[in-house]
A and B are shown apart, each in its own frame.
Chain A
Amino acid sequence: MNADRNNKKLDELISKTISRDKPQFDFDKWKQAHKEEIQIYKSQITKRQISHSAQPLHALRIIMKSKISKIGTAAAVIIAGILLSMIVLDKTVAPAFGMAEVMAAMAKAEWMHMTWEYDELNTGFEFIEPEIRESWTSVNPKRNITVYNNGKVNFTEYSKDEIKAQQYDVETNVLTTRYIPTSKNYSYTTIVGMILGDIAELEKGGARVEYIDSFYDGNPAKIINVDTVDGNGVHYKKSIVVDVQTHLPKRATNISEKPGKITTANIIFDYPQTGPTDIYEAGAPHDAEVKIIGQRITPEFLETIKPYRAARESLPQQRIVVEVANENENHSVVSVIYTNGIKERFEQVRYVKNDTPPGTNDFNTILDWANKAMSDELGTHGIQLNDGTIVYCANRDYFNPWTSQKVSRLHYRVGFIPGGLIDRGWPIIRTGMFVENDYAINNNLLCIETTSEPRFTGDSKLAEAAEKTLYYIDPEHDYMCVRIESFRHPVFPPHGNPAVNVPVFDPIDIPFEPYLVTEVVQFSLTDTGHWYPSWIITTNKQSWSDPGSGWEMREKTFDIRLYIDTSPEFPDSIFDPESLPQ
């Protein structure tokens, strides 16, 4: 093959396909359409000409940068000390002061601005962000904006279905925008509602929160103390001082500590009428290279997915699901899930045997068989109870005794406990794009394509590769998802290895063959008239750990049968943590 010849032919083909005549630009017409911008430009020029005569101010700013800032930092240390001593010493003498008054005073505040000062003695954390210069919080919509001393800017905006998280990195001059789907409601009408909401979230996650009557600046004040430890073992102590004169939070201290490391920040609050409404207004330059990660939720997508979500919502909340999975015909996994829509009990046993339930449609016979397998079969057993906030777990391996633990649900992703029908037929699809392909057209199905970016662990190892997933929805069977195809970005070697150069999702690098296919091969109807997937086959082609040869490609097939009772009766005591084996 001749490379030059190839190039010429390809050049011609590309030119024929996309070439256009050079477009002509009419500047007069453009000026007519952009009068406002021209006005801004002219006023900038005028201001610049005036500022040329104000040189002494510039000199003053330089002095402030060098000396005054040091004095300011020292003052911050003193203020932080005063705040802490107030909290400790004045607990008993402070007058009572109601949070209702604070809430009333803040009812109209929509923006809160914070100026940060740091203790000079900070030893810092290697994994903590650079020092913050100032930040804003707004409601309607909720926004968190942070500007760092090194020029980095974070801008996060929350809406009903998605979070838009933007980050400007000053070193690379790259502005990264991530669209993250969410089902959480972030609508707040007041700043205080949002602060209290955030504190309540921390409290749910195990933080200790106390409200103390005290004094600040010689006046009565309310102090809110929050004490919590995050997943990295960093101990955070936050104290917010609420001024009794204005009924508004005025100052706060944030102390982050780990053995040998401490960072203390003093924060001063003010309440402007408005603030930066996009990342550029917050300081990111317009010429930053923009990278967009994640798919946006479009109004068209939300409209088209409505019947799927409605079908998912209409599933009976009170139900028992028995699931029997056979893996490559030598392992059986039997699961029983009880749920009342709020609480869930999940029991499972996995054992070495190709087992099948009795050939009957009688649900109680199947349930009895599954319960017998739970008690008789020797293998790995697990029971999990989810009361909506806390997950209680009990596990047993072969002859070992049961071990149990209690964990906050906040530590788990949604869908941690397989909800029977939720994971088998109506998976959560938060965003995506409706696409057409041969399989969807030939089988009268709707197809949704979703993509996900790679996820890394805290130490920059690859936790999950970029993926593309196709969901095929069947409008004829209660919009059930009847086939899922997952395509994984090729990453080798797999799992947990450092992967510095793993690219973000790039369609051209996604293989043509899916590594995981889940297909509903039989439907059935419940007593309440809902379709459900009664037989599912899952094929998984990927690298598996092998003690002898390291990693190797293998294909695993799971044959899954589902049995459902949508009008069951069971006592509420099955959700009681006391019912777990000890």
Chain B
Amino acid sequence: MPDKSETRLVEAAFNGDIESFGELCRRYYGPMVAIGYSVLGDHQLAEDAAQESFARALINLKNLRNKTKFVPWLAAICRNVARDMVATKVRQISTKDFSQAARNNNHDENRRLIRRAIEQLPVSAKELIVLRYYNGLSYEEISSVLGISRPTINGRLTRAKRKMAKYLRRNGFSENRL
């Protein structure tokens, strides 16, 4: 659940206080960049996506019916902006960029495989992994961003990691390294 100050900030922004909107942006910039990164696989583009999603959110704030759902709403916009960027900027980002990253770190086979294992995950699981490990969000923070409960997050993270482990084993990652 969002705290009172957050709801007050959303109300104030809704009523025309741009600085309150700025405070919300500052609070959720990190999680939005993580969401962007889960789609784009590129740090710079992920920051662009987060900033663009703030712009879209500002002009669509009038349509936000439930003020307590501001962050999941913002996250949905950010997800869509990032996907639009994949489509319109015609970057074969997903697998290609992860492989590119791998080529840059040839000596680190572990990282290459881990990146691939993340890339192979279904979209929602990939997003959850990135939110958790990209800049270390707590379960509480993830819950606020995605609008889902902590036990659900726990279950989904466990399943995602199980899938990753399965992929890693299948691709020669030895058992004792897991």
Interface size on B, residues (CB 8 A): 55
Contact yes or no, A44 B135, CB < 8 A: no
Expressed in whole angstroms, the minimum distance between the Cβ of A18 and any Cβ of chain B is 5
Question: Could you tell me the dominant secondary structure of chain B's interface residues?
Answer: helix
Stretch from A254-262, A294-302, A343-351, A559-567 that touches the partner: A294-302
Cβ–Cβ < 8 Å partners of A416 in chain B: none
Contact yes or no, B118 A10, CB < 8 A: no
Contact yes or no, B118 A37, CB < 8 A: no
Contact yes or no, A44 B59, CB < 8 A: yes
Contact yes or no, B178 A300, CB < 8 A: no
State whether the Cβ of B10 lies closer than 8 Å to any Cβ in chain A: no
State whether the Cβ of A127 lies closer than 8 Å to any Cβ in chain B: no
Expressed in whole angstroms, the minimum distance between the Cβ of B66 and any Cβ of chain A is 10
State whether the Cβ of B43 lies closer than 8 Å to any Cβ in chain A: yes
| Cβ-defined partner of B30 (8 Å) among A16, A18, A22, A285 | A22
Cβ–Cβ < 8 Å partners of B163 in chain A: 508
Contact yes or no, B55 A37, CB < 8 A: yes
Contact yes or no, B165 A45, CB < 8 A: no
Expressed in whole angstroms, the minimum distance between the Cβ of B138 and any Cβ of chain A is 13
Quick one: given A22-B30, A27-B26, A288-B76, are A13 and B63 in contact (CB under 8 Å)? Answer: no
Expressed in whole angstroms, the minimum distance between the Cβ of B94 and any Cβ of chain A is 9
Quick one: given A41-B58, A42-B16, A290-B83, are A18 and B121 in contact (CB under 8 Å)? Answer: no
Which residue of chain A is the closest to B29 with respect to CB atoms? Answer: A25
Interface size on A, residues (CB 8 A): 49
Cβ–Cβ < 8 Å partners of B118 in chain A: 14, 17-18
Question: Could you tell me the dominant secondary structure of chain A's interface residues?
Answer: helix
State whether the Cβ of B62 lies closer than 8 Å to any Cβ in chain A: yes
Expressed in whole angstroms, the minimum distance between the Cβ of B174 and any Cβ of chain A is 12
Quick one: given A23-B33, A30-B54, A33-B51, are A286 and B110 in contact (CB under 8 Å)? Answer: no
Question: How many residue pairs, one in A and one in B, have C-beta atoms under 8 Å apart?
Answer: 127
Convert B43-69 into 0s and 1s, putting 1 for each residue whose CB lies closer than 8 angstroms to a CB of A.
100010001001111111111100000
Contact yes or no, A23 B30, CB < 8 A: yes
State whether the Cβ of B104 lies closer than 8 Å to any Cβ in chain A: no
State whether the Cβ of B18 lies closer than 8 Å to any Cβ in chain A: yes
Contact yes or no, B76 A37, CB < 8 A: no
Contact yes or no, B111 A17, CB < 8 A: yes
Convert A493-517 into 0s and 1s, putting 1 for each residue whose CB lies closer than 8 angstroms to a CB of B.
0000000000000111000000000
Contact yes or no, B63 A23, CB < 8 A: no
| Cβ-defined partner of A22 (8 Å) among B59, B76, B77, B135 | B135
Q: How far is the CA of A7 from the CA of B164 in the complex (A)?
A: 11
Contact yes or no, B43 A20, CB < 8 A: yes
* Contact residues of B between 19 and 49, Cβ < 8 Å to A: 22, 25-26, 29-30, 33, 37, 43, 47
Quick one: given A17-B114, A286-B80, are A25 and B26 in contact (CB under 8 Å)? Answer: yes
| Cβ-defined partner of B83 (8 Å) among A41, A285, A292 | A292
Expressed in whole angstroms, the minimum distance between the Cβ of B19 and any Cβ of chain A is 8
Expressed in whole angstroms, the minimum distance between the Cβ of A447 and any Cβ of chain B is 13
Cβ–Cβ < 8 Å partners of B73 in chain A: 287
Contact yes or no, B161 A10, CB < 8 A: yes
Cβ–Cβ < 8 Å partners of B175 in chain A: 1
Quick one: given A14-B129, A23-B29, A433-B92, are A48 and B120 in contact (CB under 8 Å)? Answer: no
> Residues on A close to B: CB < 8 A?
1, 6-7, 9-11, 13-25, 27, 30-31, 33-34, 37-38, 40-42, 44-45, 48, 175, 177, 285-290, 292, 296, 298-300, 433, 506-508
- Smallest CB-CB A-B distances: 8 pairs: A25-B29, A27-B22, A45-B16, A287-B76, A17-B114, A37-B55, A508-B120, A287-B73
7 pairs from A and B in contact (CB 8 Å cutoff): A9-B178, A11-B161, A17-B114, A18-B37, A21-B135, A296-B90, A507-B120
> Residues on B close to A: CB < 8 A?
15-16, 18, 22, 25-26, 29-30, 33, 37, 43, 47, 51, 54-64, 73, 76-77, 79-80, 83, 87, 90, 92, 110-111, 114-115, 118, 120-122, 129-130, 133-136, 161, 163-165, 167, 175, 177-178
Known: A286-B63, A287-B76, A508-B167. 16 other contacts (CB 8 A): A1-B175, A14-B129, A16-B111, A17-B110, A17-B111, A18-B118, A19-B136, A33-B51, A41-B59, A177-B87, A286-B56, A289-B76, A296-B87, A296-B90, A298-B90, A433-B92
